[in-house]
Amino acid sequence: MPHTRYAPDRGLTARMVTTMFFIGLLYVVFIGVLLAVFKGAWPLIVIIAGGLFVAQFWFSDRIAAFSMGAREVTPQQAPELHGAVDRLCALADMPKPRVAIADTDVPNAFATGRNQRNALVCATTGLLRRLEPEELEGVLAHELSHVAHRDVAVMTIASFLGVLAGIMTRAALWGGLSRGSRNNNVGIAVLLIPLISAVVYAISFLLTRLLSRYRELSADRAGALLTGRPSALAAALTKVTGQMARIPTRDLRKVEPYNAFFFAPALSGESVSRLFSSHPTLERRLDQLARVSTQLGQAGRG
């Protein structure tokens, strides 16, 4: 991890390495199966797989910003938001990311980008309207921790495999079917590939969820230690989570696909249980922040 004043997290690093190893292994197996079944379509498979991976990795910040309707803002357009980011970056000794605002009433924030120099931090208008300055700094410190620890890049790559499984399946089936059925491969593929894709998606989903929950706890802790105000972050968490219930279901559904990258999950009433949630429970996050507050208090008295 590039040097910053954010507290390092060896547990997060170990989990990122483990996740990337299994995701990479899964990726190789998946492409290998497609190549074995569709021998004649291997150029198409390689080009699409490689092209989509490069595009997702290099343009993840732009893709996320576009998907969320985020627009970059200047210090003149959003002085308070830029001021908070400036103070935190100076405190953390890290490069300032690009700053954006998403015009939605869903109170949330996210960070994206493959490294610190290409990072983007975005807050929604709903978040900016509801939080006090100290609470906003707590949320932004949390998001900048994702950039400093580089777990946002790992999440981008890990979540990509599930998307790729669906795209590659359709491309391979189209390529194989377009060449006719001179052998039994196409018939077998019609049955086999959807099953393989479902398995690949399920495994990648579980891996990203396990990493996502830990990285949120890590970012809460690192952000609270950096600012020295865990109570402000706890207040922001409580306020944002409580306000989610007042957001129309149709608005929550629009942003649910991006929950793994959000500060707090935007869940509609019909969402599945916390077993599949991308975030730990509010109680667990608040309990950790209470322990951080005690830790800082003891250090101050010492």
Q: Tell me the binding residues.
A: 142, 146, 216
Phi, psi of 86 (to 5 degrees): -60, -45
72 is an active site residue: no
Phi, psi of 153 (to 5 degrees): -70, -40
User: How far is residue 163's CA from residue 171's CA, in Å, rounded to a whole number?
Assistant: 13
User: How far is residue 115's CA from residue 92's CA, in Å, rounded to a whole number?
Assistant: 15
Could you give the count of Cα atoms lying within 13 Å of 299 in the half-sphere of its Cβ? 8
Question: Which residue is catalytic, options 72, 80, 132, 143?
Answer: 143
Handedness of CA 15, 20, 22, 26 (dihedral sign): positive
- The strands making up 98-102's β-sheet, listed across from edge to edge, are 70-72, 98-102, 120-124, 109-112
User: How far is residue 173's CA from residue 170's CA, in Å, rounded to a whole number?
Assistant: 5
Residues labelled as active-site residues: 143
